[in-house]
Structure 1
Amino acid sequence: MTWRILALSGVGCVALLAVIGATWLFLLPGAPAPGTAPAISKAEADATLAALKPPKRKRPLIAIVGINDMSETTDYLMPYGILARADVADVLTLATQPGPVALYPALKVQPHATIAEFDAAHPDGADYVIVPAMSREDDAVALQWIKSQASKGAIIIGVCVGAKVVANTGLLDGRRATTHWYSVRDLQKYSAISYVADRRLVVDRGVATTTGITASMPMALTLVEVIAGRTKAEAVARDIGLAQWDARHRSEAFRFTRPFALTAIANTLAFWNREQLGIALTPDFDEVSLALVADAWSRTYRSRALTFAATAEARTSRGGLRILPDEVAADWPAKLTPPAAVDLPPARALDQTLDAIDARYGTRTADFVAMQLEYPR
């Protein structure tokens, strides 16, 4: 009798949880309706450029800081790659501690210096400090260093959920800001911060923030325009395959929806069908394209992207960054090798990768990845 009661209780609990889960899914909104982002006025665009003018040097010094344990892949690599390609500033990747930076969800990079080494070489600080999303948004060492750079006159730029890192420094108090769509509610918990919708980039008195991961592309091009002018920015934009880079954004298109939740659940439950995809570190690979491709494939919940090379030594990217291979291998099984998009301009590399994800796992998974990257598709 006792076992029968326990069994019935277990069945009842499972049924209740199923009803609760189904109700939750039913109450989620469906896919957003199509639409266009609101235009940006010339006055607002000009004000944004003026607010981002280099505060110190004619050729600015830009520091991209991350913690060694899981800083976001594209947030960290894309600003570096685009700004290094433009060659309008001195750009350095930094880590809070010695050793490589393990990026999330893919790649491992050897930064140029630690924050201590940077401070010793540049006691007057950077012109710009770019802050990516980090696995620990309250890392005391990172927060203190960001605050110290701001006190030296650096413009602080929180990319994606890097906005929450900046928020934890107190530098966003009393300012307008944005962040990745998934973390908007977290940002709004800071009562002293005013969230701004429908903008990929928000600048307020020396502190800038962006929306989701791929917003670091227009943000970097905006810095190129600020530093070297519109013509230079247009040339770099053509080189990376991006048609426009102003702050326009349609926030309503990015939210937690029923299709998003169902895809996450279905792909997570398909644990028997996980794939490890190999990306070769070829000579002079484009670090931006690599970041976008590896990031996208690693967000399907069906696959993880790994880099491989014939030896364990770090490979140098087009922009001079050293990427460490995840695996030492001469080759990779053909069926587990994604299309060679890393040789394409970054925007095209991402578009081709999303098409390949669509072909391999279906449209819902491709849309699921694009939503995570906050990339219009």
Structure 2
Amino acid sequence: MILRILAWCGVGCVALLAAIGGTWLFLLPGSPAQGTAPAISRDEIEATLAALKPPKRNRPLIAIVGINEMSETTDYLMPYGILARADVADVLTLGTQPGPVALYPALKVQPHATIAEFDAAHPDGADYVIVPAMSRDDDAVALQWIKDQAGKGAIVIGVCVGAMVVANTGLLDGRRATTHWYSVRDLQKHPAIRYVADRRLVVDRGVATTTGITASMPMALTLVETIAGRAKALAVARDIGLAEWDARHRSEAFRFTRPFALTAIANTLAFWNREQLGIALTPDIDEVSLALIADAWSRTYRSHALTFAATAEARTSRSGLRILPDRIAADWPAKQTPPAAVDLPPARALDQTLQSIDARYGPRTADFVAMQLEYPR
């Protein structure tokens, strides 16, 4: 009798959870809003460029800081790769502690310096500090260093959910800001911060924030334009395959929908069908294309991208960053090698990767990844 009662209780609990889950899914919007992003006036563009003017040096010093335990792949690597190839500033990647910076969802790099080494070499601080999303947005060491840099006059730029790190420093209090669509509600829990919709980049009195992961591409080009002018930014934009980089954005196009939730659930439950996809880590590899490709494949919930090389030594990327291989191997099985895209300009590499994800796992997974990257398709 007791076993029967327990069994019926178990069935009842499962049925209740299924009903709750079904109701939750039913109440989610069926698809994101459609339509074009509102245009940005030339006055607003000029005001953004003026607000980002280098505060100290003619050739600015830019520091990209991450915690070693996990900082977001594209947030960390894309600003570095674009700004370094533009050669309009001195760009350094930093870790809060000695040793490599493990990126998520993929890759591992050896930063140029620790924050302590940077402070010793540059006691007057950076011109710009770029803050990626981090696995912990309350890391005391990172927060204090960012506040110290702001106190020395640096413009602080929170990329994607790096905005939440900046928010926790208090630097966004009383300012306008944006962040990745998934974290907007978290940002709005800070009552002193005024959320701005429909902008990929928001600048307010020495602090800038961006929307989701791929927004670091237009953000970096905006910095290039600010520092070196429109012609230089156009040249770099052509090099990376991006036609426009202003702040236009349609926030309603990126939200938690029923197809997004169902894809996440289905791909997570398909645990027996996981793939490890190997990307050859070659000398002079384009760190921006690599970051976008590895990030995208690792967000399918069906695969994880890793790098491999014949030896354990770090490989130096196109712009001089040392990237550590995840595996030591001379080659990788062809079936577990994503279509080659690392030699394409970054924007084209991402488009090609999303097409390959569509072909391999279907359009819903490709849309699911693009939504996470906050990348308009």
TM-score past 0.5 threshold: yes
Shift of 1:273: 0.1
2:70 is paired with a residue of what secondary structure? strand
> Distance in 2 between the 1:361 and 1:355 partners?
10
> Distance in 2 between the 1:250 and 1:199 partners?
7
Shift of 1:184: 0.1
2:62 is paired with a residue of what secondary structure? strand
> Distance in 2 between the 1:2 and 1:137 partners?
48
> Distance in 2 between the 1:225 and 1:23 partners?
48
Shift of 1:283: 2.0
RMSD over equivalenced CA pairs, Å = 0.4
Shift of 1:227: 0.3
1:69 is paired with a residue of what secondary structure? coil
The one-character-per-residue Cα deviations of 1:324-358 (angstroms, maximum 9, x if unpaired) are: 00000000000000011111000000000000000
2:30 is paired with a residue of what secondary structure? coil
Q: After alignment, is 29-38 or 118-127 more displaced?
A: 29-38
Shift of 1:282: 1.5
> Distance in 1 between the 2:238 and 2:31 partners?
32
> Distance in 1 between the 2:34 and 2:170 partners?
37
Q: Is 1:375–2:375 an aligned residue pair?
A: yes
2:277 is paired with a residue of what secondary structure? strand
The one-character-per-residue Cα deviations of 1:246-302 (angstroms, maximum 9, x if unpaired) are: 000000000000000000000000000000000001121100000000000000000
> Distance in 2 between the 1:277 and 1:240 partners?
24
Shift of 1:34: 2.2
Shift of 1:319: 0.3
> Distance in 2 between the 1:222 and 1:40 partners?
14
> Distance in 2 between the 1:32 and 1:288 partners?
28
> Distance in 2 between the 1:31 and 1:81 partners?
34
2:342 is paired with a residue of what secondary structure? helix
The one-character-per-residue Cα deviations of 1:48-107 (angstroms, maximum 9, x if unpaired) are: 000000000000000000000110000000000000000000000000000000000000
The one-character-per-residue Cα deviations of 1:155-211 (angstroms, maximum 9, x if unpaired) are: 000000000000000000000000000000000000000000000000000000000
> Distance in 2 between the 1:152 and 1:202 partners?
21
The one-character-per-residue Cα deviations of 1:216-258 (angstroms, maximum 9, x if unpaired) are: 0000000000000000000000000001000000000000000
Structure 1: 4+ residue segments shifted above 4 A: none
> Distance in 1 between the 2:20 and 2:63 partners?
47
Give the aligned partner of residue 203 of structure 2: 203
Give the aligned partner of residue 355 of structure 2: 355
Q: Is 1:156–2:177 an aligned residue pair?
A: no
Shift of 1:30: 1.0
1:64 is paired with a residue of what secondary structure? strand
Shift of 1:39: 0.1
2:138 is paired with a residue of what secondary structure? coil
Shift of 1:33: 3.4
> Distance in 1 between the 2:27 and 2:44 partners?
37
> Distance in 1 between the 2:162 and 2:6 partners?
48
> Distance in 1 between the 2:129 and 2:202 partners?
15
Correspondence 1:32-181 to 2 at 5 A: 32-181=32-181
> Distance in 2 between the 1:305 and 1:267 partners?
16
> Distance in 2 between the 1:30 and 1:44 partners?
34
> Distance in 2 between the 1:27 and 1:166 partners?
33
The one-character-per-residue Cα deviations of 1:8-40 (angstroms, maximum 9, x if unpaired) are: 110011011101100000000011232100000
> Distance in 2 between the 1:3 and 1:141 partners?
54
> Distance in 1 between the 2:12 and 2:170 partners?
48
> Distance in 1 between the 2:136 and 2:8 partners?
43
> Distance in 2 between the 1:134 and 1:16 partners?
36
1:135 is paired with a residue of what secondary structure? coil
2:290 is paired with a residue of what secondary structure? helix
Give the aligned partner of residue 305 of structure 2: 305
1:343 is paired with a residue of what secondary structure? coil
> Distance in 2 between the 1:340 and 1:87 partners?
27
> Distance in 2 between the 1:350 and 1:282 partners?
19
> Distance in 2 between the 1:232 and 1:302 partners?
40
TM-score normalised by length of structure 1 = 1.00
Give the aligned partner of residue 285 of structure 1: 285
> Distance in 2 between the 1:275 and 1:2 partners?
44
> Distance in 2 between the 1:260 and 1:32 partners?
10
Q: Where do 5+ consecutive residues of structure 2 fail to align?
A: none
Aligned length: 377
TM-score normalised by length of structure 2 = 1.00
> Distance in 2 between the 1:140 and 1:4 partners?
53
